[in-house]
Amino acid sequence: MKGAGQQLAVAIEWGTRVEAVPGEAEAGDRCIVCPFASGVLLGAIDGLGHGREAAAAAGIAAEVLAERPSDPVAALLRRCHGALKRTRGAVIALASIHYPDNSLSWLGVGNVEAVLYRAAARGDGNGGATAARNTHVIQLSGVVGYQLPDLRPASTTIAVNDRLLMATDGVRSDFPREIVLRGQPQKTADLLMQRNRKTTDDALILVARYLGNRP
């Protein structure tokens, strides 16, 4: 399934692609992009396994997250944990971008990848510049709905043209930096899925480009 690239307010533009494992009618992976007054919540949800039950678990988590997207990411994951106890559970990565101060708070439980690709160069300490390093979400062991670890979100800054990429484990990681930072987010998501898709599980890629806090 191909997600329609969109622009929310003036702060981000994004694209997503989700594909079910061959033989299943629906995917157990879901993404969320939920704007709120001062920012946006982004997430990737992978219901354990695949098929109808995995899709049901992912759908419940997406509904919980959409109810109060401005809440802290740890609180959101705790609410998902309670809602998913009667399901097979899910692994989830969340990122909350706050526009006024260009900040990002994020957290992951389970093997869902989330990486912030820095667009700008940074100083090397000797008057030169080097490529800015990518920043990875801390992936905590556990399953939302079954075993929740001690939740300690990390925070960082986000700058204009930085790109946030999220991917479930149906996609091979270690994406080439030059591809992620080039082109429209939807085209990037499509290309990465085409080149890195596994056939043994559902797969999801979400790419969001930060446009900055503009009046």
pLDDT digits (tens, 9 = 90+) for 14-24: 999 999 998 88
Q: Is residue 1 part of a domain?
A: no
Q: Which residues constitute the domain of residue 33?
A: 6-120+127-210
Q: Is residue 112 part of a domain?
A: yes
Give the pLDDT confidence score for residue 127 in this predicted structure.
45
Q: Is residue 146 part of a domain?
A: yes
- 43 close to 94: Cβ distance less than 8 angstroms: yes
Q: Is residue 69 part of a domain?
A: yes
Whether the full predicted model's pTM is greater than 0.85, yes or no, is: yes
Q: What does the DSSP assignment read for the chain?
A: -BPPPEEETTTEEEEEEEEPPTT-SS-SEEEEEEEETTEEEEEEEEESSSSHHHHHHHHHHHHHHHHSTTS-HHHHHHHHHHHTTTS--EEEEEEEEETTTTEEEEEEESS-EEEEE--SEEE-SSS-EEEPPPEE--EES-BBTTB------EEEE--TT-EEEEE-TTB-----HHHHTSS-HHHHHHHHHHHHB-SSS-EEEEEEEE-----
Handedness of CA 107, 203, 47, 83 (dihedral sign): positive
* C-alpha angle 17-145-27 in degrees, rounded to nearest 5: 25
Q: Is residue 115 part of a domain?
A: yes
CATH number, domain containing residue 198: 3.60.40.10
Q: Is residue 104 part of a domain?
A: yes
Range name among 24-38, 42-56, 65-79, 109-123 with the lowest pLDDT average: 109-123
Residue 129's identity, in one-letter code, is A
Q: Each residue of 74-113: pLDDT tens digit?
A: 999 999 999 999 999 999 999 999 999 999 999 999 999 9
* Cα–Cα dist 174/177, whole Å: 9
Q: Each residue of 139-160: pLDDT tens digit?
A: 899 999 999 999 999 999 999 9
Q: Is residue 215 part of a domain?
A: no
Give the pLDDT confidence score for residue 50 in this predicted structure.
86
Q: Is residue 30 part of a domain?
A: yes
What's the number of domains the chain is made of? 1
CA distances, 137 to each of 20, 55, 86 (Å): 25, 24, 27
